[in-house]
């Protein structure tokens, strides 16, 4: 049994805290809004997310950041990627010397183009960092439906400890040492899922969605190769696995955002109606703004950015993608990070 502090009481933070508490661990769930913490303590349910699910009675909710910080030496970050740096900065003076951070966010920082591991090393340099990713919709995890994920850390022993802590009858955790690959797969698939949702919303059929998801994987692989990821990581749970569920499931916020846009709703309105963070919206911007530093051609990501942030017509973007110069499906650059040839 371990003590865990989970920072962020959105859908995934709530589901993770419930999962860990149900495994017998002592879990403190930090809520950004104190009234949310009080409601969970009173009713045993999160009034804002997964409200139909009774949460573990052993779960301790709090709106006090310091209380959550001193509760445990193992911290789980379940806040959006764009909030990671701010939260880590606030927690730094409160961090124990041997703090261990497990990140659940899937994205790149817009202002810097950095992955969450890089942000963590800058803001909490004393922390041992891990990232957990894979096909894990909160709505299914909290119901105890079978789920498999991967946790990656540069230190195998750290990933192994998270695996032991979290693995149960319905939640299976694999380990990996490729932090870069797990982070890239988890982040970029959200942008591809928005594209898949747009395609479905436009009524273009299963062939189009499958083609888009597959070529989206090619973009994930190219970016991963350039940044030093193991390509096999991106064929695993954090890559293909997460891509599949996010591109085809109505639980996916990114898919739902894209679907609304494909139906003709303006992106701003679609985002507002979603009512939750769709990480792909921000990841598309981060990848576009730092494309030169990445040095990889990402036409699907570029198209999604233009639709969401420049109000480009989805039909026009689709035509541009279809009319690109023909290319071989596979090339050495796809896996080994040489000079890029495009999708």
Catalytic residues: 189
The encoded tokens of residue 41 equal 């303590």
- Beta-bridged to residue 241, according to DSSP, are none
| C-beta separation of 274 from 268 below 8 A | no
CA distances from 328 to 60, 324, 325 (A): 54, 12, 10
| C-beta separation of 299 from 324 below 8 A | yes
| C-beta separation of 224 from 231 below 8 A | yes
| C-beta separation of 71 from 60 below 8 A | yes
* Phi, then psi, of 252 in degrees rounded to 5: -70, 120
Determine the straight-line distance between the first and last CA of the chain, rounded to whole angstroms: 48
Closest CA to 280 of 243, 311, 328, 227: 243
- Beta-bridged to residue 308, according to DSSP, are none
Distance between CA 209 and CA 206 in Å, rounded?
Answer: 5
Distance between CA 87 and CA 109 in Å, rounded?
Answer: 13
């Amino acid at each position: 049994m371990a003590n865990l502090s989970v920072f962020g009481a959105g859908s995934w933070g709530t589901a993770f805290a419930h999962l860990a508490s149900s495994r017998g661990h002592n879990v403190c769930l930090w809520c950004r809004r104190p009234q949310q913490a009080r409601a969970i303590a009173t009713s045993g349910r999160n009034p804002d997310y997964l409200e139909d699910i009774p949460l573990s009675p052993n779960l301790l909710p709090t709106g006090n950041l310091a209380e959550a910080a001193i509760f445990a030496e193992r911290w789980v970050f379940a806040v959006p990627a764009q909030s990671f740096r701010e939260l880590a900065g606030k927690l730094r003076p409160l961090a124990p010397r041997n703090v261990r951070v497990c990140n659940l966010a899937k994205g790149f920082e817009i202002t810097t183009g950095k992955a969450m591991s890089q942000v963590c090393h800058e803001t909490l340099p004393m922390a041992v960092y891990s990232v957990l990713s894979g096909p894990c919709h909160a709505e299914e995890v909290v119901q105890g439906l079978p789920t498999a994920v991967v946790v990656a850390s540069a230190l195998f022993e750290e990933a192994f400890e998270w695996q032991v802590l979290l693995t149960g009858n319905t939640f299976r955790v694999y380990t990996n040492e490729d932090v870069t690959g797990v982070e890239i797969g988890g982040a970029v698939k959200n942008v591809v899922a928005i594209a898949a949702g747009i395609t479905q919303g436009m009524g273009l059929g299963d062939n189009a969605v499958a083609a888009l998801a597959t070529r989206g994987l090619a973009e994930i692989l190219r970016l991963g190769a350039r940044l030093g990821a193991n390509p096999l990581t991106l064929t695993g749970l954090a890559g293909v696995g997460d891509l599949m569920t996010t591109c085809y499931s109505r639980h996916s916020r990114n898919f739902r955002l894209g679907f609304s846009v494909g139906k003709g709703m303006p992106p701003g309105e679609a985002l507002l109606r979603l009512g939750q963070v769709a990480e792909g919206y921000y990841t598309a911007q981060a990848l576009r703004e730092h494309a030169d530093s990445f040095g990889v051609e990402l036409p699907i990501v570029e198209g999604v950015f233009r639709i969401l942030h420049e109000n480009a017509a989805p039909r026009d973007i689709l035509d541009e993608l279809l009319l690109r110069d023909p290319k071989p499906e596979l090339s050495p650059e796809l896996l080994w990070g040489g000079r890029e040839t495009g999708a």
